[in-house]
Structure 1
Amino acid sequence: MSAPAADPDTVDGAVRRSDLPGGVRLVTEAVPGVRSVAIGIWIGIGSVDEVGERAGAAHFLEHLLFKGTRRRSAAGIAEEMDAVGGELNAFTAKEHTCYYAHVLDTDVALAVDLLADVVTDAELAHTDVELERGVVLEEISMRDDDPEDLLGDLFDQTLFGEHPLGRPVIGTEESIRAMSRDTLHDFWRGEYTTPRMVVAAAGNLEHSSVAELVAVALSAAADRHRDTAAVPPRTATGVRPARTGNLSLQPDDSEQAHVMLGVPTPGRHAPGRPALAVLNTALGGGLSSRLFQQVREQRGLAYQVYSSTVRYADAGALSVYAGCAPERLGEVAAVVRDVLAGVAAEGLHEAEVTRARGALRGGLVLGCEDTASRMNRLGRAELDHGRQRSLAQSLARIDAVTPAEVAALAAELLDQPLTAAVVGPYEDASDLPAPLRDL
C-alpha cells in the first residue's frame, strides 16, 4: 500500500487540497446541507494528445473502460451503481477526460472504489473493443446527423487548421475502424497515469476520509509512479493554430441552414479572461444580448442565436451560432457581421457591461448550487491552472471589468477576419449568400 497523504492545504474555507502518493492531486469542497457527493477522476489527456492512429482514442476508451475490470463485469458495475441510485459516467474533451460519480454521502466509498477500478484496472477485452467500435461508429453517424454538432467540428477544423485543436474529439470513421486493441491499451497505460490525475469531490464529505479512500483505491496505480511528481498544468506549446481558410461548407439535406462565425482568441493563460466573459455575455449570452435582440427579437430571423467562448492552452475562440431558414442565411450573416463590427468599433454601452457582469455573477453563484457543478469547477481549475480561486475572488474579478477594458478587447479580437462554417442545403460555397462568400 502507498504512503499516507500529506497534510492538506486549506485553499478557501471549505476547499482543501492534498498531494497523494504517485502524484495524484485531491481537491475537495465540503458543502453543508446536502446529502450527496459528486466525485470525479480527471486525467489531463484529451484529443489534442492523440497522434496519427490514436485519433479518437480517449473517447473510445471512455466507452471501453466501463466494459469490465478484473474484479467487475460491465453488468456488475451498472448493478452496483443502480443499487444505490447513483450516476456513473464520463466525458472526453480536447485537453482532458473525466470519469465521475454522483452518489449519496453514505456511498462515497463505493463511488471511489468503482471509479478507481474502472480508470486503472479495466480489462479492454478484444471482444469488447470490437463491440464498442460499432457503438462509437454509430455515435459518429449521430454526430453527422446533428447539424449543430457537425457544425462545431467543422468550425474548429476551419479555425484551428492542422493544429491538434482542429481535430474532432470523437475521432474519424477511418481512425476508429483502424484502431487496434493494442493501440488503445498502450494509450491507456501510457497516458492515464496517476501523475496526470486530479481527484475532485464536492458535497457532504470530510477531506481526510476521502483522501484515505482515494489513496487506497489508487494504491496499485500510484505504486507504478511512486517517485514521480504530479504533471503541472498544460502550458502553451508556442505553436499558433493557422486557419485552413475563411469559410467551410458541409452540404446537408436539412430544413435549416446552420452557421457559425468567429475569431481566434488567446489561450487561457493570457490576461483578460473576465473581460472576454463580459464581452461574450453582452454579445450573445442572454435574452438582452445584442445578437438575440438584433437577430431574433427585432427581425425574427432565427429561433436560436447565441455566442460562446472556449479557451485552451494554445488558443481559444469567440464564436456566434445561428440556425435559420436557408433563404434567410444571408441576412442573418449580415446582421451578425454588423453587430460584431459595431462592437469592435465602439465597444459596449455601460448598461450592457453592467447587465453582463450581473448575468455572470448570477450564473456563477447559481451554478454552484449543486455538488456536480462544484466538483467540475474544482477539477478543471486544478488541471488547467494548478490552483483554486474562491467564489469571492471570481466575483471580484467580474466586478472589476470596465467598459474601457471590454472595448479594448473587442477592438483587438473582433477586428480580425472572420472564420465561418456552414451546414445546410447548399451544394457548393458559391451557392452561399454574399455576406459569407465575401469574408
Structure 2
Amino acid sequence: MPIELPLDDARSDLVLSEGGSLVRRTVLPGGVRLLTETDRSVRSVSIGMWIPVGSRDERPEHAGATHVLEHLLFKGTARRSALDIATAFDEVGGESNAVTAKEHTFYYGRVRSADLPLALDVLADMITSAALEPAALELEREVILEELAMAEDDPTDVGYEAFCEQVLGEGTALGRPVGGTPASVGGIDVDAVRAHYAEHYRPENLVVTAVGDLDHDLLAAQLSARLTAGGWTLEPGALPRPRPATAPQAAVPGIGAAALTPRVLARDTEQTHVYLGGPALSATAPERHAMSVLMAILGGGMSSRLFQHVREERGLAYSVYSFSSAYRDAGVFGLYAACRPTRTEQVVELMGAELADMGRRGVTEAEMRRALGQITGSLALGLEDTSSRMGRLGTSELVHGRYTEVDEAVARIAAVRAEDVRSLAERLAGSFTTRVDVGPDGRHVAIAS
C-alpha cells in the first residue's frame, strides 16, 4: 500500500518495507522532512537536499535568482571556501552537483557509506551558511553568461526553450527559461539573491532524501545537528510549509500539426530542428499513466512509431522522438525531429499524422505490451541505481504527496487500456498550438530569439 505524505502531516514517522529495503519518512523539528531507503547490498549512499522553489516561484524583482543562487552555494560558506567544497568530494572519490528546475532546486552527492557524514556536513553547510559575497556573484555571473552562451550555440536547446516558452506562456513565470536570460542574469544584484535565499532556504522547506547503506535514525540525528550548527533554529512541532496554490493553466485552442505556422529561429545549421506540440497533463493528472504509455508507443524508442515510420521506413531524419513535461498545474507534450531543410514539411506532416492515426485507429496489443515492457524495464533498471531511487523519494514527497511501492507503480501502468491511449491521443492530436523551427531560414521571416 502507498504511504500518504500530505505536507501538513502531523505524524512524525512512517515506515514501509519495499522488497528487501526499508523506506522511512520522518518530520524533524523545524518541519525538515527526511526520507530514506536503507539498502545493505551496496556500500555507497546517494543523498539529496531539495528546496521546493524553482524559477517559476521567483518574485519579479528576484527573476533569475534561483539559478544564480544554485551556483553561489558552491562558492563558499563561513567555514569553507569554494575550493574546500570541491575538494571535499574529490578527496573521497565522491561526486556532487546541483540542478535548478522550474519547481525545485536540488543539491546532491554520492559517496561511500563511510563518507556519508562528510557529504551531509558539506551539503548542510552550503544550504544553511552560504556566504553570498558580492565578489563571488560578479565572478559567477560571467560563468552563467557563458553557460547561457553555450546553450545558445545548441539548436536543440534554443528550440526547446522557445517551444516551452510559447506553450506555457511568454512572459509567465512558468514559461520563462530556468537559467534566466543574459539580461536577467546581468541585472541581478547580490541583495536580490540574498533576499531570495533568506525567504526560501528555511527548515520548513527542506526535504532530504538518501538511499544506500545507511541508518535512518543516525542520519536524522546527524542532519539535525548539522542544520543547527549552520544557524537554523529547529523548533519542535513546526510543520512543513504548504506549496502556494496555483490556478490551472487556461486551455488554449489547438489545431492540427500541419496547420501550424512555425516560429523560425534562423541559425547557420545543416539541419532544421523542429519542435511541435502544445499543452498537456499536469504532474498529478489521473491520465498521466496513459501519457507514459502513449509517449512510449509514439516516440519512446527504436520500435516507436515515429522512429520506425520517419527514420527506418523513409530515412527522413536521424533523430526523431516524442516527449512530455509535467508541472503542478500544467504540462507540455511535443514531437521533435532534425532533418535537412528540404524535408521539413514532409517530416512535420508525418509526425502529426502518426499522433492523429493513434487517435483514430488506436494502438495494437503488441504496442501495448512493448510499452509496458519498456516502462517497467526502465523502472527496474533505475532501481539498481541509488541516485535514481533517491530522486524517486524526492518526487514522491514534492510532487505526489505519497510514496508508491514499485509493484503498485507497475500495476498502475499495466492497468492502462488501449482505449485510454487512443482517447488521449485523439485529444492531443487536436491540441497542437506551437511549432518552432531552428535552422536555415529559406521560407519565413526569421524572428530573433
Please indicate, yes or no, whether the TM-score normalized by the shorter chain is above 0.5: yes
Counterpart contact for 1:263–1:414, Cα < 8 Å: no
The CA deviation at 1:12 is 3.6
Counterpart contact for 1:91–1:99, Cα < 8 Å: yes
For residue 15 of structure 2, what is the amino acid of its counterpart?
T
Q: Could you say which residue in structure 2 is the equivalent of 1:436?
A: none
Q: Could you say which residue in structure 2 is the equivalent of 1:259?
A: 274
The CA deviation at 1:412 is 1.9
What SS is found at the alignment partner of 1:280? helix
The CA deviation at 1:401 is 0.9
The CA deviation at 1:381 is 1.4
The CA deviation at 1:417 is 3.1
The CA deviation at 1:56 is 1.9
TM-score, normalising length: structure 1: 0.93
Q: Could you say which residue in structure 2 is the equivalent of 1:167?
A: 176
The CA deviation at 1:77 is 1.1
Any idea what the Cα deviations from partners look like across 1:6-26, whole Å, max 9, x if unmatched? 863113441110001111111
The CA deviation at 1:52 is 2.5
What SS is found at the alignment partner of 2:283? coil
Counterpart contact for 1:133–1:177, Cα < 8 Å: yes
Q: State the alpha-carbon separation in 1 of the partners of residues 16 and 201 from structure 2.
A: 26
The equivalent position to 2:165 in structure 1, one of 146, 157, 165, is 157
Q: Could you say which residue in structure 2 is the equivalent of 1:354?
A: 369
The equivalent position to 1:295 in structure 2, one of 298, 310, 319, is 310
Matches within 5 A, 1:21-420: 21-162=29-170, 163-219=172-228, 220=230, 222-223=232-233, 228-232=238-242, 236-240=246-250, 247-420=262-435
Gaps of at least 5 residues in structure 2 are 1-9, 255-259
Counterpart contact for 1:233–1:383, Cα < 8 Å: no
The CA deviation at 1:331 is 1.3
**CA separation of 1:323/1:364 partners in 2, compared to 1, >3 Å: closer, same or farther?**
same
TM-score, normalising length: structure 2: 0.91
The CA deviation at 1:372 is 0.5
Q: State the alpha-carbon separation in 2 of the partners of residues 309 and 416 from structure 1.
A: 14
Q: State the alpha-carbon separation in 2 of the partners of residues 288 and 212 from structure 1.
A: 49
Counterpart contact for 2:277–2:433, Cα < 8 Å: yes
What SS is found at the alignment partner of 2:53? coil
For residue 139 of structure 2, what is the amino acid of its counterpart?
L
Q: Could you say which residue in structure 1 is the equivalent of 2:437?
A: 422
Q: State the alpha-carbon separation in 2 of the partners of residues 129 and 242 from structure 1.
A: 40
**CA separation of 1:228/1:221 partners in 2, compared to 1, >3 Å: closer, same or farther?**
farther
Q: Could you say which residue in structure 1 is the equivalent of 2:15?
A: 10
Q: State the alpha-carbon separation in 2 of the partners of residues 395 and 280 from structure 1.
A: 16
The CA deviation at 1:270 is 1.8
Q: State the alpha-carbon separation in 1 of the partners of residues 97 and 244 from structure 2.
A: 24
Any idea what the Cα deviations from partners look like across 1:359-416, whole Å, max 9, x if unmatched? 1010011111111111011112111122211111111111111101111211222222
**CA separation of 1:420/1:19 partners in 2, compared to 1, >3 Å: closer, same or farther?**
same
Counterpart contact for 2:281–2:288, Cα < 8 Å: no
Counterpart contact for 1:235–1:314, Cα < 8 Å: no
Which range moved further: 272-281 or 237-246? 237-246
Counterpart contact for 2:264–2:446, Cα < 8 Å: no
Counterpart contact for 2:265–2:446, Cα < 8 Å: no
The CA deviation at 1:420 is 1.1
For residue 21 of structure 1, what is the amino acid of its counterpart?
P
What SS is found at the alignment partner of 1:29? strand
What SS is found at the alignment partner of 2:241? coil
Counterpart contact for 1:27–1:201, Cα < 8 Å: yes
Counterpart contact for 2:25–2:36, Cα < 8 Å: yes
Counterpart contact for 1:30–1:206, Cα < 8 Å: yes
Q: CA RMSD in A?
A: 2.1
What SS is found at the alignment partner of 1:334? helix
Q: State the alpha-carbon separation in 2 of the partners of residues 12 and 396 from structure 1.
A: 18
Q: State the alpha-carbon separation in 1 of the partners of residues 143 and 442 from structure 2.
A: 30
The CA deviation at 1:291 is 0.3
Counterpart contact for 2:12–2:28, Cα < 8 Å: no
What SS is found at the alignment partner of 2:74? helix
Equivalent pairs: percent with the same residue?
Answer: 45
Counterpart contact for 1:39–1:201, Cα < 8 Å: yes
Q: State the alpha-carbon separation in 2 of the partners of residues 293 and 367 from structure 1.
A: 26
